[in-house]
Structure 1
Amino acid sequence: MAKITLIGIDVGTTATKAVLIDERGERLAGFALPHPTQRPQAGHAEQNPDDWMRGVLGALQTFSASHDLSSLQAIGICSQVNTHVFVDAGGAPLLPAIIWQDSRSAPGAAALEAQTNAAQKTAWFGAPIPIDASHALSRMAYVRRVHPDLYARTAHVLLPKDYCVLQLTGAVVSDPISAVGLVDAAGYVADLLALVPRAADVLPPLASFTTVAGRIKPGLPCAGTPVVVGAMDAWGGMFGVGVVANGDAMYQSGTSEIAGIVSSTIVPTPGVILFPAYEGITMHAAPTQTGGAALGWFAQVLGRTPGETAALASSAQGSVPLFLPHLQGERAPLWDSASRGVFARLDPSAGAAEMALGVLEGVAFSVRLAFDALKASTSVDPGTINIGGGGATSDFWCQVRADVLGKPLRRCAAPESAALGAAILAGQSQDAASPLADVVRRLVRFDRAFEPDASKSSSYQDRFGNYVELYESLRAFNAGF
């Protein structure tokens, strides 16, 4: 008799990843297919939606070929958000997807931001969530201004997961959590959407994560299998690292770093994204702009792999420079698109190993800053932080993070934590009687804990202060470019 199975898929920034699990959470197979990002000019970052579908269909074909999926229950998809694809009435992309790293809409975002105020946004969202270059309305205003003909033909503005669900099932649907900065407890905020003509017409209807959007079309792999609406990567990863209850904290490490704390206490705090409550879960999140991407950049400079570069950092003996990882600006909690990366305090003893360690530390400092904002927003100082994602596979980097944060880190065993979360949501769609928290605890496993070294945490406290001072000292300089 075939095992009962579930598939979770994560359309990430650098790759589409997928995991096949059984009903007990055992990982039966994994899949990953990289996809490129095009940067045709400064500030632009684009992807081809067809590349996402190559990954999604590749995962389904691979799992079908290597396993008996006759008892496959459902498929879940999560994805990067603040990435938007404009499609016509037939579901075809009208231009490349504008991904979350793209900053071309910053001027339009500032104009929209000026038409709102902190009090309005706090009333809508519970916190003064900024309208930045990655906000859906900023993207719509940009396309409307630069490509008015294409905007007139736009039927839907979709996130990557929603685009893939459309291609697999024909359904147009999203979820309220992924509609960052667009919805309140009642749905889309009409007064906000009114700032951009047709915005209310092109955004998809909303449904819960575990609602079955449709079934896979005939002729595609796994035809007939239910596909759920799914969630954004931060929430998929949150479930995938076992975070569901008040006081739980997560650290997701991928292209960017995402820090988050679950808390029903809300203290409006600038820089923090507050999501609407979902099944009693109120997530306060602080996504940075660059995490694993910073390590990938420096690895490319050295002509090494990211794994080799992280290992090289462990051999550092000389003076370690401070590194500001704002290679493409910074998101939470600073929301400063003008900031840029820098190495500071270099001396002749600093070589490749020391600079590599500076990169690892700088990313950890950016997350320390994010958690400081989250602790203010939630009134929670977490005891242990659950960590997952591809950037968490380095034991050395996890230890650096634990030392910088001064907190134990508990690592999820499955490296595809967001894809695992998507599979969990697929599972709950078929087992609605079980509370989501119970499903998460049953299916998530951990492989190691990293305890902070007290002496290193003390020295990192001083370096963190220097990190913040470095950013502040460069603000005027960066703003002048």
Structure 2
Amino acid sequence: MFDCEAEAWLGIDLGTQSVRALLVTADGTVLGAGTAPLTNHRDGVRHEQDPGEWWEAVCTASRAAMSQGSSRVRAIGGLAVCGTSGTVLLTDAQGRPLTQGLMYDDGRAVEEAARVGRQTSWALPKALWLLDAYGWKEGRGQAARVTHQPDVITARLTGEVVPTDSSHALKTGYDAEREAWPPQLAHLGAVLPEVVRPGTRLGEVCRAAAEATGIPAGTPVVAGMTDGCAAQIASGALRSGAWNSVLGTTLVLKGASANPVRDDAGVVYNHRSPDGSWLPGGASSVGAGALPVGPDPSEMDIRAAEYEPSDALTYPLASPGERFPFLAPEATAFTLGTPASEADRWAAVLQGVAFTERLCLDYLHHLGALMDGPLTFTGGAARSAYWNQLRVDILGRPARVPEQIEPALGMAVLAAYGTGTGGIALPDVADRMVRIRTVLEPRASHTARFTEPYARLVDELETRGWLPTPLATHTRTRLNQDTIDS
């Protein structure tokens, strides 16, 4: 059992814009928080970060969190680190970076993606591109090692090269069902890292790392997960049928299932949960990144409420190409009709994201995924009370919003699970540490307002050849059924 008066756990989130650290007790009390910015190097399809900056930011954020909270607890029970899914680099045999980190949306590995049948957002094409650019040839052994973003940090924390986790390895081609690298990657040999399940103990914080971060030497370090999975843990959506919608720059939906959700199209993929169950989900390219830069979001939300529905219908891709609920690399953002004002344009983006979110849920239903559990909202956009209610109205189903919507909280929960001695299941640990702030209910009259524009968006996406007809048909069937039931 955990003693919330004596012990706390540290979660570290390596985000795109910053590193975030949270020190959290077993009852979910946040004792300390720290953040540090990260620099992004972009040039066309190129997007890189400096791995050395990751470590410096971790040191800054961890010192801040520890300075706020360490005096209020007896011990730090452990820590875990999450990173952006699909971000990869090469390191040497000692874990020292040989290259910059290629971020999840770096788009240079087009040929490699076509060769292995994956999207450029996956880590595998980027890893192959790096190996070629670095000059690695088969037979050179451990001259280079494929490494995921959090592995750089856990190696610095423990003072030695450590295995990667199966969550980050998934998009590098790891077979989560067989829990092994597939035969078609055998030629890479020792270039690929050893893999363990999330929550596995990797080592302890070494003295040098303790001095740099303020984290006590000897603190257990456990294998983490991707930021999307971390956000799911932070939502508490870990029992079969529960789903978490993470809305930030883009939209990610992840659920919990006893078995993998099969998808021949490859749109939905399945992470292996630390307890051996499954976390199916997908990542869309729509999101808050499509909102205009400059206006005050709170003020615009108030004004947007006057446009339900908007005079315009927007498909708000934050970047070209769609990944979920359909695969269309050629997809681009579009707007049908002309917004009546700046506020109407804002409203059209908010509604367009929610329409796509509903389409994602329709796709999951089409695949036969269990959908009868609670839906939870996390991500930066969940700070908008108006957008939360709008999403619930458009989806036509209730949703919960936790007090903390940080992936770093999910890593604190995972650290508590990974270091626990009482055999407590991960969902039970999350129930203790995740606090639900708000439960939102859809308003039937508002839901009805959005039926016609949602149907028009489905029609338009199908007409453009992006949305497969079987999914469009399934969506219309569900929409007609909902209309009859109401």
Fold match (TM-score > 0.5): yes
- Structure 1 Cα separation of the partners of residues 252 and 308 of structure 2: 30
List aligned pairs for 1:86-97, cutoff 5 A. Answer: 86-97=90-101
> Of residues 37, 50, 60 in structure 1, which corresponds to 2:40?
37
Q: Give the 3 Å change call, closer, same or farther, for CA 401–229 of structure 1 in structure 2.
A: same
Q: Does 1:163 align with 2:156?
A: no
- Structure 1 Cα separation of the partners of residues 386 and 279 of structure 2: 28
Residues 2, 71 of structure 1: 8 Å contact kept: no
Partner of 1:479: none
- Structure 2 Cα separation of the partners of residues 343 and 154 of structure 1: 50
- Structure 1 Cα separation of the partners of residues 333 and 143 of structure 2: 36
Partner of 1:80: 84
Shift in Å, 1:28: 1.8
Shift in Å, 1:309: 4.4
Q: Give the 3 Å change call, closer, same or farther, for CA 475–147 of structure 1 in structure 2.
A: farther
Residues 274, 285 of structure 1: 8 Å contact kept: yes
Residues 266, 378 of structure 1: 8 Å contact kept: no
Q: Does 1:330 align with 2:322?
A: yes
Instruction: Work out the percentage of aligned pairs sharing the same amino acid.
Output: 27
Partner of 1:64: 66
> Of residues 11, 22, 28 in structure 2, which corresponds to 1:8?
11
Q: Cα deviation per residue 1:34-53 (whole Å; 9 max; x = unaligned)?
A: 32322112x22222222322
- Structure 2 Cα separation of the partners of residues 424 and 436 of structure 1: 8
Shift in Å, 1:252: 1.5
> Of residues 215, 226, 250 in structure 1, which corresponds to 2:220?
226
Partner of 2:476: none
Partner of 2:125: 138
> Of residues 355, 377, 387 in structure 1, which corresponds to 2:377?
387
Partner of 2:268: 272
Residues 32, 64 of structure 2: 8 Å contact kept: no
List aligned pairs for 1:156-195, cutoff 5 A. Answer: 156-169=145-158, 170-180=160-170, 181-194=173-186
Q: Does 1:293 align with 2:289?
A: yes
The secondary structure found in structure 1 opposite 2:167 is coil
The secondary structure found in structure 1 opposite 2:121 is coil
Residues 323, 341 of structure 1: 8 Å contact kept: yes
Q: Cα deviation per residue 1:144-170 (whole Å; 9 max; x = unaligned)?
A: 344426997853222221221112212
> Of residues 428, 436, 446 in structure 1, which corresponds to 2:417?
428
In structure 1, runs of 5+ residues without a counterpart are 114-130, 477-481
List aligned pairs for 1:404-415, cutoff 5 A. Answer: 404-415=394-405
Partner of 1:117: none
Q: Cα deviation per residue 1:39-86 (whole Å; 9 max; x = unaligned)?
A: 112x22222222322331112211232231651111111121111122
> Of residues 259, 280, 283 in structure 2, which corresponds to 1:284?
280
> Of residues 104, 108, 116 in structure 1, which corresponds to 2:108?
104
Partner of 2:479: none
Shift in Å, 1:307: 4.7
- Structure 1 Cα separation of the partners of residues 169 and 41 of structure 2: 24
Shift in Å, 1:267: 5.3
In structure 2, runs of 5+ residues without a counterpart are 467-486
Q: Cα deviation per residue 1:201-238 (whole Å; 9 max; x = unaligned)?
A: 22221122222212222132214121111111222111
- Structure 2 Cα separation of the partners of residues 91 and 277 of structure 1: 26
Partner of 1:126: none
Shift in Å, 1:90: 3.6
Residues 228, 252 of structure 2: 8 Å contact kept: yes
Q: Does 1:256 align with 2:250?
A: yes
- Structure 1 Cα separation of the partners of residues 108 and 83 of structure 2: 22
Partner of 1:304: 295
Residues 376, 400 of structure 2: 8 Å contact kept: yes
Shift in Å, 1:358: 1.2
Residues 94, 150 of structure 1: 8 Å contact kept: no
The secondary structure found in structure 2 opposite 1:91 is coil
Q: Give the 3 Å change call, closer, same or farther, for CA 188–311 of structure 1 in structure 2.
A: farther
How does the TM-score come out when normalised to structure 1? 0.86
The secondary structure found in structure 2 opposite 1:183 is coil
Shift in Å, 1:240: 0.8
The secondary structure found in structure 2 opposite 1:30 is strand
- Which has the higher mean CA deviation after the structures are superposed, 147-156 or 103-112? 147-156
The secondary structure found in structure 2 opposite 1:387 is strand
- Which has the higher mean CA deviation after the structures are superposed, 316-325 or 368-377? 316-325
- Structure 2 Cα separation of the partners of residues 70 and 239 of structure 1: 25
Residues 290, 328 of structure 1: 8 Å contact kept: no
| Aligned-residue RMSD, C-alpha | 2.5
- Which has the higher mean CA deviation after the structures are superposed, 55-64 or 29-38? 29-38
- Structure 1 Cα separation of the partners of residues 414 and 98 of structure 2: 30
- Which has the higher mean CA deviation after the structures are superposed, 402-411 or 285-294? 285-294
Shift in Å, 1:365: 2.0
Residues 319, 346 of structure 1: 8 Å contact kept: no
Residues 12, 79 of structure 1: 8 Å contact kept: yes
Q: Does 1:340 align with 2:340?
A: no
- Structure 2 Cα separation of the partners of residues 276 and 436 of structure 1: 13
Residues 178, 232 of structure 1: 8 Å contact kept: yes
Aligned pair count reads 447
Partner of 1:124: none
Shift in Å, 1:264: 2.6
